[in-house]
C-alpha cells in the first residue's frame, strides 16, 4: 500500500525518538530477539538427534551427522553422551528460550510504556508552554484526545514494531534450519510464505483507512463529552441534554462499527492464512514424500518447522496491519507537537524562583497595535499606568478591552509598538517574572474541586495560614469563610459549584492577593454579580488601593468612582479619558 509522505517522515521520526528515549533497551531487545531465535533454532535441530538416538528412525544422514557433532561438543564440555545428556541439553535450551522470551516481553513493555510517557509528558509540556493565541484557537476536546487516546495508540505502534521484528527473526531462524535440512523444501516453504503475504497486502490499505476514520470518530466523541459536561447546566436549562446524548450514542456506535470492521479484517486475514497454511502444508508433505524423497525423521522436523513458519507469517501480516491502524495516531501527535514547538513562548525562567517577582512600577503602552486578522482591534494605543494607581477600562463589546488585558498579561504580542514594565520592555526575557507578579480575576473565575485552602495556595504554595487569612480579609471573604462549617477545609465543588457566584469571586480575588501582586487585573470580575456582592468586591478593592497597581475592566460607575483614571475604548483606540 502507499502511505502518505508525512507518515513515512513520522515513522522515521518515531524510530529516532524511540532510540533517543530507550536506545540501550531497544538494542538489548533486538539482541534478545536474536538470542531467542538462535535458541529456538537449536531446539528445532535437537529434535532430529533425539528421534535418532531413541531409535525411532535409523540411518539418517542428516541426523547421524548432527548427533556425532553434538556428542563431540558434549564430551568437550564434560557432559557424558547418551539419551540422558541429550534430553538434559534439550531441556536447558528450551528453558533458556522460554526465559529469554519472558525477559524480552517485560523489556518490550517497559520500552513501550516509557515511550508513551515520554510522548505524553513532552506534548503536555509543549501545550503548556505554547503561546496563548495558538492554544485558544484549538478545540480543547481535540487536545484531550491527543494527550490521552492518540498518545496511547502511538504506544501500540512501538509494541507492534518490536513484535514485528521478533516475528521476522523467528521466520529467518525457521528458514535457516529448514535450509540446513533440505534446501529445496526450505525454498518451497519460503515461496509459500511469500504467496500468503501477497494475498494480505491488499488488506493493508484498508487497515490504514480504518485507523484514520476511527481516529475522527473517537475525536468527535471526546468533543461531545467535554462540551456536554462543561455546559451541563445550560444543556439542562434549554432541555438540550437529549441532543448531546443522541450525538454521543451516534458516534459511539460509529466507533464500535470501526472497531468491529477492524476485528473482521483481522479475523478474515487469519482465516485466509489458516486455509492457506493447511493447503500449502498438504502440498509441502506431498512434494516432500513423492518428489524429494526425504527420510522420515527429516521430513517430520520439516513438517514441524513448516507448521510453525506459516502461522508466523500470519502473525507478521496481522502485526503490520496493527502498525498501519495505529500509525495515524502517531502522525497526529507528531503534527500537534510540531505546531506547539513552532508556537512556543520561550520564556526565560530565573534559576532562583524566590526572587522572580517584579516590584511595583509604572506600565507604559507606546503606540501599541494588535489585530487577530486584517482588521486591527487596538491601533496605536498609548497609555501610562502609574505605580499603585487604579486604571478603569470601559467600552462597548468588541472594543478591545479584554485584548488590552491579554496584552498586559503577555498572553498576546503587539503587532506594532511596545509595552514597558517599570522601564523594562515586556518580552520573553522578563515575561515569566512579570506573570509571577500578577493577580488575575476574570468574570467566570475558575475554582478547583478542592478545599478553599488549596485553591488559595495554588497561586503561591507554601504561604502561612496567617497570610491566607490576610488575603481573605483584603478580599472581604474572611467572615464568609469563617461561617462555613469546615472553614478553610470546605470543598467548593467542581468549578466552585457548591458556593454562590459572589462567594466564588471573592475567593478568586483572595487567591490573586495571596501572592501580593505588583499588578491586579480584573476582567469584568463584578459584571455578573448582584449589587450586594459587587459592593463587597469594591470595598475590598478600596481596602488595597494604593498598595498595588490595578487595571479593572468594568462598566460599573461604583468601580469608576474609586479609579484614578478611566479610559473609554472604541474603534481600536481611546475615545475619551
Assess whether 140 and 235 both reside in one domain: yes
Looking at residue 347, its pLDDT comes to: 79
Query: Distance between CA 222 and CA 219 in Å, rounded?
Result: 5
Assess whether 440 and 336 both reside in one domain: no
* Whether pLDDT at 562 is above 80: yes
Assess whether 392 and 313 both reside in one domain: no
Query: Distance between CA 35 and CA 486 in Å, rounded?
Result: 63
| Mean pLDDT of the 561-571 span | 87
Assess whether 178 and 291 both reside in one domain: yes
Residue 422 vs residue 289, higher pLDDT: 422
Q: Residue 323 in contact with residue 163, Cβ under 8 Å?
A: no
Contact partners, residue 91, CB within 8 Å, separation at least 6:
none
Residue 104 vs residue 5, higher pLDDT: 104
Say which CATH number the domain at 530 has: 3.40.50.300
Query: Distance between CA 318 and CA 325 in Å, rounded?
Result: 10
Residue 422 vs residue 182, higher pLDDT: 422
Looking at residue 63, its pLDDT comes to: 45
pTM for the full predicted model: 0.79
Confidence of residue 49 (pLDDT cuts 50, 70, 90): low
* Whether pLDDT at 369 is above 50: yes
Looking at residue 547, its pLDDT comes to: 87
Query: Distance between CA 141 and CA 150 in Å, rounded?
Result: 12
- Helix, strand, coil percent values for the chain (each to nearest 5): 65, 10, 20
| Mean pLDDT of the 428-456 span | 87
* Whether pLDDT at 541 is above 70: yes
Residue 419 within any structural domain of the chain:
no
* Whether pLDDT at 97 is above 80: yes
Looking at residue 64, its pLDDT comes to: 47
Q: For 477-511, how does the pLDDT look when each residue is reduced to its tens digit (9 = 90+)?
A: 888 889 988 889 989 888 778 888 888 888 888 89
Assess whether 328 and 400 both reside in one domain: no
Residue 127 within any structural domain of the chain:
yes
Assess whether 163 and 272 both reside in one domain: yes
> Which of 537-549 are b and which e, b meaning 16 or more Cβ less than 10 Å from the residue's Cβ?
bbebbeebeeebb
Assess whether 293 and 395 both reside in one domain: no
Looking at residue 417, its pLDDT comes to: 92
Q: Among 45-59, 172-186, 193-207, name the most confident range.
A: 172-186
Residue 244 within any structural domain of the chain:
yes
* Whether pLDDT at 382 is above 60: yes
Pairing of strands 565-570, 573-576: antiparallel
332 phi, psi to nearest 5 deg: -65, -45
Q: For 260-289, how does the pLDDT look when each residue is reduced to its tens digit (9 = 90+)?
A: 877 777 777 777 777 777 777 777 777 767
* Whether pLDDT at 99 is above 80: yes
Residue 350 within any structural domain of the chain:
no
Looking at residue 420, its pLDDT comes to: 92
Q: Residue 526 in contact with residue 505, Cβ under 8 Å?
A: yes
Assess whether 436 and 520 both reside in one domain: yes
Looking at residue 418, its pLDDT comes to: 93
Q: Out of 341, 357, 375, pick the residue that ends a domain.
A: 341
Element holding 383 (H helix, E strand): strand 376-385
Residue 385 vs residue 278, higher pLDDT: 385
| Mean pLDDT of the 157-181 span | 81
* Whether pLDDT at 59 is above 60: no
Q: For 192-234, how does the pLDDT look when each residue is reduced to its tens digit (9 = 90+)?
A: 777 777 766 666 666 667 666 777 777 777 777 777 777 776 7
pLDDT, averaged across the chain: 80
Where do runs of H (alpha helix) occur along 231-290? 232-237, 241-287
Say which CATH number the domain at 277 has: 1.20.1560.10
Residue 361 within any structural domain of the chain:
no
* Whether pLDDT at 81 is above 60: no
Q: For 243-266, how does the pLDDT look when each residue is reduced to its tens digit (9 = 90+)?
A: 777 877 887 788 778 778 777 777
Structural domain range at position 455: 387-408+427-576
Residue 233 within any structural domain of the chain:
yes
Confidence of residue 89 (pLDDT cuts 50, 70, 90): confident
| Mean pLDDT of the 375-400 span | 87
Query: Distance between CA 68 and CA 241 in Å, rounded?
Result: 80
Residue 247 within any structural domain of the chain:
yes
Assess whether 470 and 545 both reside in one domain: yes
Q: For 306-339, how does the pLDDT look when each residue is reduced to its tens digit (9 = 90+)?
A: 777 777 777 777 778 788 778 888 888 888 999 9
Measuring CA to CA, how many Å separate 259 from each of 162, 248, 271, 374? 23, 16, 18, 45
Assess whether 217 and 275 both reside in one domain: yes
Assess whether 100 and 40 both reside in one domain: yes
Looking at residue 292, its pLDDT comes to: 64
Query: Distance between CA 215 and CA 247 in Å, rounded?
Result: 17
Assess whether 323 and 391 both reside in one domain: no
Confidence of residue 342 (pLDDT cuts 50, 70, 90): very high
| Mean pLDDT of the 139-166 span | 86
The number of distinct structural domains making up the chain is 2
Residue 293 vs residue 106, higher pLDDT: 106
* Whether pLDDT at 466 is above 80: yes
Residue 75 vs residue 556, higher pLDDT: 556
Residue 368 within any structural domain of the chain:
no
Contact partners, residue 327, CB within 8 Å, separation at least 6:
3, 7, 10, 11, 157, 208, 211
Looking at residue 74, its pLDDT comes to: 61
Looking at residue 122, its pLDDT comes to: 92
Amino acid at each position: 500500500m502507499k502511505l502518505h509522505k508525512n507518515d513515512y517522515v513520522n515513522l522515521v521520526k518515531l524510530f529516532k525518538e524511540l532510540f533517543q528515549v530507550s536506545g540501550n533497551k531497544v538494542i538489548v531487545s533486538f539482541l534478545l530477539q536474536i538470542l531467542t531465535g538462535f535458541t529456538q533454532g537449536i531446539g528445532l535441530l535437537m529434535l532430529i538427534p533425539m528421534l535418532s538416538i531413541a531409535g525411532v528412525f535409523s540411518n539418517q544422514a542428516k541426523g547421524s551427522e548432527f548427533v556425532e557433532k553434538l556428542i563431540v561438543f558434549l564430551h568437550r564440555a564434560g557432559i557424558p553422551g547418551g539419551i540422558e545428556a541429550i534430553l538434559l541439553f534439550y531441556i536447558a535450551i528450551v528453558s533458556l528460550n522460554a526465559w529469554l522470551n519472558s525477559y524480552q516481553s517485560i523489556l518490550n513493555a517497559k520500552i513501550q510504556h516509557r515511550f508513551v510517557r515520554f510522548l505524553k509528558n513532552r506534548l503536555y509540556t509543549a501545550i503548556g508552554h505554547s503561546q496563548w493565541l495558538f492554544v485558544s484557537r484549538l478545540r480543547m476536546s481535540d487536545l484531550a484526545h491527543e494527550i490521552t487516546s492518540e498518545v496511547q495508540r502511538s504506544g501500540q505502534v512501538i509494541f507492534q514494531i518490536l513484535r514485528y521484528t521478533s516475528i521476522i527473526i523467528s521466520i529467518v531462524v525457521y528458514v535457516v534450519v529448514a535450509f540446513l535440512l533440505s534446501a529445496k523444501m526450505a525454498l518451497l516453504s519460503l515461496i509459500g510464505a511469500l504467496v500468503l503475504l501477497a494475498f494480505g497486502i491488499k488488506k493493508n490499505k484498508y487497515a490504514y483507512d480504518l485507523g484514520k476514520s476511527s481516529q475522527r470518530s473517537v475525536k468527535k466523541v471526546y468533543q461531545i463529552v467535554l462540551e456536554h459536561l462543561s455546559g451541563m447546566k445550560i444543556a439542562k436549562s434549554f432541555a438540550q441534554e437529549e441532543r448531546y446524548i443522541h450525538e454521543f450514542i451516534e458516534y459511539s456506535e460509529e466507533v464500535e462499527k470501526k472497531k468491529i470492521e477492524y476485528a473482521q479484517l483481522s479475523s478474515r486475514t487469519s482465516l485466509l492464512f489458516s486455509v492457506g497454511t493447511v493447503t500449502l502444508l498438504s502440498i509441502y508433505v506431498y512434494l516432500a514424500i513423492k518428489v524429494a524423497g526425504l527420510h522420515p525423521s527429516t521430513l517430520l522436523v520439516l513438517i514441524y518447522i513448516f507448521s510453525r513458519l506459516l502461522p508466523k507469517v500470519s502473525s507478521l501480516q496481522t502485526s503490520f496491519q496493527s502498525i498501519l491502524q495505529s500509525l495515524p495516531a502517531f502522525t497526529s501527535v507528531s503534527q500537534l507537537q510540531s505546531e506547539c514547538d513552532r508556537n512556543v513562548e520561550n520564556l526565560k525562567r530565573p534559576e532562583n524562583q524566590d526572587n522572580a517577582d517584579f516590584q511595583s512600577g509604572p506600565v507604559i503602552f507606546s503606540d501599541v497595535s494588535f489585530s487577530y486578522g486584517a482588521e486591527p482591534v487596538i491601533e496605536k494605543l498609548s497609555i501610562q499606568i502609574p505605580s499603585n494607581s487604579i486604571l478603569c477600562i470601559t467600552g462597548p463589546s468588541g472594543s478591545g478591552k479584554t485584548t488590552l488585558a491579554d496584552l498586559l498579561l503577555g498572553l498576546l504580542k503587539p503587532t506594532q509598538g511596545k509595552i514597558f514594565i517599570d522601564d523594562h520592555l515586556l518580552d520573553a526575557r522578563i515575561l515569566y517574572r512579570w506573570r509571577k507578579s500578577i493577580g488575575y480575576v476574570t468574570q467566570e473565575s475558575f475554582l478547583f474541586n478542592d478545599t478553599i485552602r488549596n485553591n488559595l495556595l495554588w497561586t503561591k504554595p507554601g504561604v502561612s495560614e496567617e497570610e491566607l487569612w490576610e488575603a481573605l480579609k483584603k478580599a472581604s471573604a474572611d467572615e464568609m469563610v469563617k461561617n462555613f462549617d469546615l472553614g478553610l477545609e470546605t470543598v467548593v465543588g467542581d468549578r466552585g459549584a457548591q458556593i454562590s457566584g459572589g462567594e466564588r469571586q471573592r475567593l478568586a480575588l483572595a487567591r490573586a492577593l495571596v501572592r501580593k501582586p505588583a499588578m491586579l487585573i480584573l476582567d469584568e470580575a463584578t459584571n455578573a454579580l448582584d449589587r450586594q456582592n459587587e459592593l463587597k468586591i469594591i470595598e475590598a478593592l478600596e481596602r488595597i488601593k494604593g498598595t498595588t497597581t490595578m487595571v479593572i475592566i468594568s462598566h460599573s460607575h461604583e468601580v469608576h468612582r474609586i479609579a484614578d483614571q478611566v479610559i473609554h475604548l472604541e474603534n481600536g483606540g481611546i475615545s475619551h479619558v
